[in-house]
Amino acid sequence: MLFNSAIFIAGFLPVVLLGFFLFAGTGRQRLAGVWLTLASLFFYAWWDPHYLPLLMGSIVANYLLGGWLLKHPSRLVLLLGIAGNVLLLGYYKYTGFLVGTLDDTLGLGWNVPHIILPLAISFFTFQQIAYLSDAHDGAVVEHDFLNYCLFITFFPHLIAGPITHHREMLSQFSNPDNFRPRLDNISVGATLFVLGLAKKVLLADPMGAEAGPVFAAAQGGMALPLLDAWSAALAYTMQLYFDFSGYTDMAIGLGLLFGISLPPNFDSPFKAHNIADFWSRWHMTLTRFLTAYLYNPIVLRVTRARVAAGKPLPRRGKMGVSTFLALVAYPTLATMAISGIWHGAGWTFVAFGLLHGFYLVTVQGWRALKAHWGWKVDSDKLRHRVPAVLLTFLCVVVGNVFFRSASMEAALSMLSSMVGLNGVLLPTSFARIPGIAPLAGLLGIPFDAGPFFRPVLAVQIALLLGIVWFLPNTQQFLRRYRTALNWRPQTAWLQQRLAAATWRPSMAYGVALGVLGFFALARAMSAAPTEFLYFQF
């Protein structure tokens, strides 16, 4: 069941809200929790009821194992529990990829199995691994089965995140104040949901319709002209941005309707001034999980090994090449490679992860050099910030080519086209622009209609980039009210000047939101709903 579908908006959500308000409004918190859990299980089973036992079996097994680890901490049992979760994820998500790779490499003639990936398995697996790890360390403060079930299955975040942490969610489910219907939560939650729906159906989906045929052509072996390739790469980047941003807004808004704040997961990542900053803003809960449960343990293990070998720890600002490789490059590349594989089973996702790992290592190395030379690590000056933001955005676009392409061959073909190796064509309409025709003649660039590029698409992408770079995001727009959990808005100079435009419950904003909601709902109801991109992970 999709958030942008008629059955969800006009059927499932009103019924679940009504039942929740009936129970919670009369003080029956426990029944309200049971109602939400059952509704979330129904929401999951709507996709395919055959996988509901898998979800419930995983929940029960991890709950019991977590309870045992709370009373009897055992590293062996913890590792077995983590291995069981990883093997379950690996079987469904990577068996076909591994068997296909072995068959292609060794020519074994195997039949590659087609295994349907259970919805949300990557998300609930990560949440439960974190729970087991913290139970072993004694960091779990509550072990209630109903709240644990609701923590895993709560439908606003179940399918595509945020990846919630037990500490921040279980305490909310145990607080009776969160189960009392509040008008401010309902109005803010509904506003976020409508804004997210508009991003999805009015901005993301049209960009996806533009990018899809071009990537399909690259997969089919077509050599694309430069502008066609760039328009597709940028259109997909805009699709991914507004699709994920829209889902995040809708998830946080839905949580607020039920009195629950979900953690922030998206904070204007294209305003980032380097890739490290980007990953602190994009899929923030995934970055948090990977840092806490993968990157930091790798660094700790490497550090202990070096100390045991008699190698001193580096002083601040004094890190040799070998130390940098061991303590920074290796953990970063390993973490990002796993991040890439988590996103999907394919070499393009491995390349995506390793490329971003290379970006991060480069950023960390450059920052270490600047600290070593006594330079200012980060500059707030506009003449430094703007090129840094543009360079970061360019790096993200290149990475997204791997993220979107169906094969390495298609990704490399797209990148070849983006650097002009397959030729450059200018639209015939450009010949009427003063000075363009003589310059094109001097450079030997012909005027011809490319197979996909349209000037109107360039204008649309430019407008979307204007929204991305110059307008406040939805959390900043609603910063006077409770939105994401413990979220603190970043107020850059432009947002400070737009402070008067922040949302408040008024007639003007109500009318504007109603008009936007009308068009978004009309678009959502007029055609079959499209899946959110992160549903496939």
DSSP 316-331: TTB--HHHHIIIIIHH
Q: What is the pLDDT of residue 493?
A: 47
C-alpha distances in angstroms, 272 versus 276, 280, 489?
8, 9, 14
Structure tokens at 270: 């294209």
* Calpha distance 228→225 (Å, rounded): 6
Structure tokens at 331: 């953990």
Q: What is the pLDDT of residue 89?
A: 92
Q: What is the pLDDT of residue 486?
A: 86
pTM of the model: 0.92
Query: Which tens digit of pLDDT belongs to each residue from 76-134?
Result: 999 999 999 999 999 998 888 888 888 777 777 777 677 888 888 989 999 999 999 99
> Which residue, chain included where needed, has tokens 């009392």?
180
List per-block mean pLDDT (blocks of 10 residues) for the chain, which spans 537 residues.
Answer: 91 95 85 94 92 94 95 94 94 86 77 79 92 92 90 92 90 87 91 96 95 95 92 97 96 95 94 95 94 93 86 70 86 94 91 96 88 78 88 97 95 95 85 83 81 90 95 88 81 53 81 91 84 80
Examine residue 162 and say whether the peptide bond preceding it is cis (omega within 30 degrees of 0).
Answer: yes
Per DSSP, what are the bridge partners of residue 426?
447
**Domain ranges in the chain?**
51-181, 269-449+457-464
Structure tokens at 278: 């980007």
Structure tokens at 293: 């449960």
Of 343, 356, 372, 384, the catalytic one is 343
Are the beta carbons of 526 and 201 closer than 8 angstroms? no
Q: What is the pLDDT of residue 108?
A: 74
Q: What is the largest CA-CA distance in the chain?
A: 79
* Residue 343 appears among annotated catalytic residues: yes
Are the beta carbons of 402 and 349 closer than 8 angstroms? yes
